[in-house]
Structure 1
């Protein structure tokens, strides 16, 4: 006997969450970066690598994440979400595993495996679970996308402590500086450096195991029998009764656009630029929160836990903001996100005076605020341009994060010495303020005349 429609849809969501949990280890870069940089400085090349330069690993992964997401949407239409998800996951896991070898060679080799390959794999595997789940629950796009990308945000909660326990089980603190880089601390302890390459083998095996299981659960809705169609109609009416009594999603009815038409609209570019500005914070804090914390907190385990708790906020925030977008609108919810993010970034530098507790709360607050971007923009894309091409359309939308990774890394490398931590944080706050203004101009309506 086949499972009810709702139960099958929930399994698809669960599979998507499991896959995104492994893909979301993208956010562990801020935790693992000190180990990577310290190892390369001591045992590989270049010996003068610093944390700002290492941001290019994250930037490369983020950039190709954006590029490959469009490709993933195209592949999904050809071979289906399950195989596409597994293909992307395999690239991620293989790249991570190969980093065991490349970290012993040079920083530039790590760029290929932990940056390029990781990013392409994440991009290919990211959208198919989202698109499939939204097809099962079309009137709950915000909540469904929030749940799945919540798995992406939750990845660091699971894997930050695993990485730290594996590489630094004695909770040693970084203990060496560079005369040319006095603001940063690095590890030179043999026990930490010896374990660093082996961490990537362990992570690659665990990731791929999760991806195999999750991808098997990701399926598009089947062609319905008469009974299933009736069940489906009842479900949609129940979910969307405040908006419609018909089994369609009123919010995207009649506005289906392919990528070619979409990029010629003002709405696309308003959303794209908002995404670009609002994810500058994500690039900076995801990669450098630990490097900043090390300047006044001498506890590596605590800093790893900060990353873990902030990832919980990253995950729960995606669900929360997705729910608010369903309950109120994309526009109202995004205005709140921009305002909250601006506040936390303007005041983040104060944590070096207030100590560990404020640092934990503020980093969690930053992750809570920027997490909403990754729940709201898939929803806004689907509502504005329709469901049919959501994988490809959101792939193009996501290229904004590619540009934010490049510009964020460039600005951090170019300006860190001259404007310091405070200047970098204020710059991110200004970007979020600009996103707030752009959101005020966004004016896409539902057929009923409401903001999407």
Structure 2
């Protein structure tokens, strides 16, 4: 595929599709943390019980996961933005929103379960959904006639995120891997 992109022009023509695929996989791996939600759930509930509401239950976290599954709506917006402003800018917008909301969740979890639902559930996943579609579209463009492989690689990147991030979460939050008790 021909490109006017100032970065890709500096890469040998035959390597360009693989550079795009590798970048897409890496981005998706960073977005794929939500696939490790089952790993982080006990820690979130424990923290919320300790800091915000002692009556918080694991069952109430279904709302957080439900909001995280709102990605399909963001994917529609990501496709629209990709056509209007280009893939790179769409990915940057989605990534900035994604990263900002994760950072903001540091503060929201200390104050309110509802704020956590908004920042970590709704807005964070909305950002990754916007970027996801632009990444997928670019992979499909760079691998014409190999749509299954291109979309599979990009989707696998998200799975890799959950695979690699879960042990890091455990090591960071619970280095001795102690089980949560009734008090959290």
- TM exceeds 0.5? yes
Q: Look up the match of 2:13.
A: 5
- Selected match of 2:64 from 57, 61, 64: 57
Q: CA deviation at 1:6?
A: 3.0
Quote the Cα distance in structure 1 between the aligned partners of 2:26 and 2:177.
29
Quote the Cα distance in structure 2 between the aligned partners of 1:68 and 1:36.
25
Quote the Cα distance in structure 2 between the aligned partners of 1:168 and 1:37.
14
Three-state SS of the structure 2 residue aligned to 1:139 is coil
Q: Does 1:164 align with 2:134?
A: no
Q: CA deviation at 1:3?
A: 3.8
Q: Look up the match of 1:77.
A: 83
- Selected match of 2:152 from 135, 146, 163: 146
Unpaired runs of at least 5, structure 2: 1-8
Change (3 A) 1:2 1:111: closer
Quote the Cα distance in structure 2 between the aligned partners of 1:80 and 1:24.
23
- Selected match of 2:27 from 12, 19, 27: 19
Q: Look up the match of 1:34.
A: 42
Spell out, residue by residue over 1:33-69, the C-alpha distance to the aligned partner (whole angstroms, 9 max, x if none): 1111111112212x22222210211111211x11111
Q: Look up the match of 1:373.
A: none
Three-state SS of the structure 2 residue aligned to 1:86 is helix
Spell out, residue by residue over 1:367-423, the C-alpha distance to the aligned partner (whole angstroms, 9 max, x if none): xxxxxxxxxxxxxxxxxxxxxxxxxxxxxxxxxxxxxxxxxxxxxxxxxxxxxxxxx
Quote the Cα distance in structure 2 between the aligned partners of 1:133 and 1:5.
15
Q: CA deviation at 1:4?
A: 4.0
Quote the Cα distance in structure 2 between the aligned partners of 1:2 and 1:108.
47
Q: CA deviation at 1:126?
A: 0.5
Quote the Cα distance in structure 2 between the aligned partners of 1:138 and 1:33.
40
Quote the Cα distance in structure 2 between the aligned partners of 1:93 and 1:2.
29
Unpaired runs of at least 5, structure 1: 177-185, 188-452
Q: Look up the match of 1:108.
A: 114
Deviation above 4 Å: which 4+ runs of structure 1? none
Quote the Cα distance in structure 2 between the aligned partners of 1:29 and 1:90.
21
Equivalent residue runs for 1:228-377 within 5 Å: none
How many aligned residue pairs are there? 176
Q: CA deviation at 1:121?
A: 0.4
Q: CA deviation at 1:2?
A: 5.0
Q: Look up the match of 1:134.
A: 140
CA RMSD of aligned residues (A): 1.4
Spell out, residue by residue over 1:339-360, the C-alpha distance to the aligned partner (whole angstroms, 9 max, x if none): xxxxxxxxxxxxxxxxxxxxxx
Quote the Cα distance in structure 2 between the aligned partners of 1:144 and 1:56.
32
Q: Look up the match of 1:118.
A: 124
Three-state SS of the structure 2 residue aligned to 1:48 is coil
When normalised by structure 1's length, the TM-score is 0.38
| Higher RCO (CA 8 Å, separation ≥ 6 residues) | 2
Quote the Cα distance in structure 2 between the aligned partners of 1:136 and 1:171.
43
Equivalent residue runs for 1:174-193 within 5 Å: 174-176=180-182, 187=184
Q: Look up the match of 2:3.
A: none
Quote the Cα distance in structure 1 between the aligned partners of 2:13 and 2:168.
37
